[in-house]
Amino acid sequence: MDDPFLLAGEEFGSRLIMGTGGLPSLEVLDAALASSGTELTTVAMRRVDPNARGSILDVLARRGVRVLPNTAGCYTARDAVLTAQLAREALTTNWLKLEVIADEHTLLPDPVELLDAAERLVDDGFVVLPYTNDDPVLARRLEQLGCAAVMPLGAPIGSGLGIRNPHNIELIVEQARVPVILDAGIGTASDAALAMELGCDAVLLASAITRAQHPALMAAAMRKAVEAGRLAARAGRIPVRRYARASSPTEGLTPSHVANS
Amino acid sequence: MKLIVNGTATEHRDDATVADVVSQLTVAPSGVAVAVNGVVVAHSAWTTTPLTDNDSVEVLTAVQGG
């Protein structure tokens, strides 16, 4: 595998992690998953609905996509820890997207509860992938606690505002010794490409695909954007200059060229 | 006895176990987890875990999300 994405000792070919919330049906989800090429996909834990038709787990199993449970909807470390333990029991994975939010208006992470939950879950043997603010200090603290990655937001969940503080994302990338996954805020393909150009190891997104007018089409766009951004980051972009720099040779110009210049 | 199952009070036999409660909600063979009064009950202990009056039983599974 050329340039695999290494996360907690596992190799992935795709650097696009897809969330599954917001799609009208499992059929549409299945098509979006296929177009995205994702190999790791988040799910939420909720009370069993006796009337539910079909299971997302069956869809993911058929596609061979690995399940990453989250703790979406948890406001306290206590809730997040219990949800994580239930997810581990139900899905037989110790991987977890840790999400502890402060309020339903912003859905921003609550740093105090997040750190508390991360510490308890790492101690309990979980592979903790925390959804965090775009704060380099908080990211460092999460890494020091033993989190397997840090997942800073580009902008609030579902906002589609893109990456509001690329400078902070760069700072997080520069200091991190665990993978950095840009999580939340992506609106369109260029946002995902920018995340990768900034040096992120992967992108996690849901709404940008699931709430697009044509989810499968946007999933294909995101796949290419993440790939393109990754290639660009590896290729090393040119420095930004204030003035032009000719790409054609400046030797061998005729007198008329010189006269016109 | 009365149990609070996923937030709703329901009547059950006095010797009902976690496995009995789960089977009334879903036939899914996997992908389900249970907490009784806020503590996870391992799948392997469902048939042997007795319940008592007014226990709160949460039965969860994976759904589309984040």
Output DSSP code: residue A72: T
pLDDT of residue B66: 80
Is A154:A164 a contact under the CB 8 Å cutoff? yes
pLDDT bracket for residue A259 (50, 70, 90): low
Interchain CB distance below 8 Å, A90 and B26: no
pLDDT bracket for residue A125 (50, 70, 90): very high
* Four-point Cα dihedral A188, A73, A85, B41, nearest 10: -140
- Nearest Cα of chain B lies from the Cα of A2 at a distance, in angstroms, of 28
In degrees, rounded to 5, the angle at the alpha carbon of residue A39 between the alpha carbons of residues B35 and A1 is 140
Which of A124-133, A190-199, B23-32 comes out lowest in average pLDDT?
B23-32
**Spatial separation of the C-alpha atoms in residues A45 and A93, rounded to whole Å:** 13
Span A36-44, average pLDDT? 96
**Spatial separation of the C-alpha atoms in residues A98 and A89, rounded to whole Å:** 16
Active site residue A224: no
Please, which residues bridge with residue A194 across strands? Answer: none
pLDDT of residue A52: 82
Is B4:B13 a contact under the CB 8 Å cutoff? no
State which H helix or E strand residue A54 sits in: none
Span A163-181, average pLDDT? 98
**Which class for A165: exposed (0-12), middle (13-18), buried (19 or more C-beta within 10 A)?**
middle
Characterize the bridge pairing of strands B39-41 and B32-36: antiparallel
Pick from A23, A29, A90: which is nearest to B32 by CB? A90
pLDDT reading at A260 higher than 80:
no
pLDDT reading at A261 higher than 70:
no
| pLDDT tens, position by position, A89-118 | 999 999 999 999 999 999 999 999 999 999
Q: State the catalytic residue, choosing from A15, A88, A97, A223.
A: A97
Q: Mean pLDDT, chain B, as a whole number?
A: 92
pLDDT of residue B65: 86
**Spatial separation of the C-alpha atoms in residues A92 and A88, rounded to whole Å:** 5
| pLDDT tens, position by position, A247-256 | 898 888 887 7
How many other C-beta atoms lie within 10 A of the C-beta of residue A238? 7
pLDDT of residue A25: 87
| pLDDT tens, position by position, A200-214 | 999 999 999 999 999
**Spatial separation of the C-alpha atoms in residues A221 and A95, rounded to whole Å:** 27
Nearest CA to A119 out of A78, A89, A87 is that of A78
- Find which of A29, A38, A86 to mutate to test the B interface (most B CBs within 10 Å of its CB): A86
| pLDDT tens, position by position, B10-20 | 999 999 999 99
Output DSSP code: residue A238: P
pTM value is 0.92
Full DSSP string of A103-137: -TTT--B-HHHHHHHHHHHHHTT-EEEEEE-S-HH
Interchain CB distance below 8 Å, A91 and B43: no
Pick from A23, A82, A91: which is nearest to B35 by CB? A82
Pick from A22, A29, A43: which is nearest to B62 by CB? A43
Interchain CB distance below 8 Å, A21 and B61: no
Phi-psi region of B51 (alpha: psi -120 to 50; beta: other; left: phi over 0): beta
pLDDT reading at A227 higher than 70:
yes
Full DSSP string of B3-61: EEETTEEEE--TT-BHHHHHHHH---SSSEEEEETTEEE-GGGTTT-B--TT-EEEEEE
A208 touches chain B (CB under 8 A): no
- Find which of A89, A124, A151, A159 to mutate to test the B interface (most B CBs within 10 Å of its CB): A89
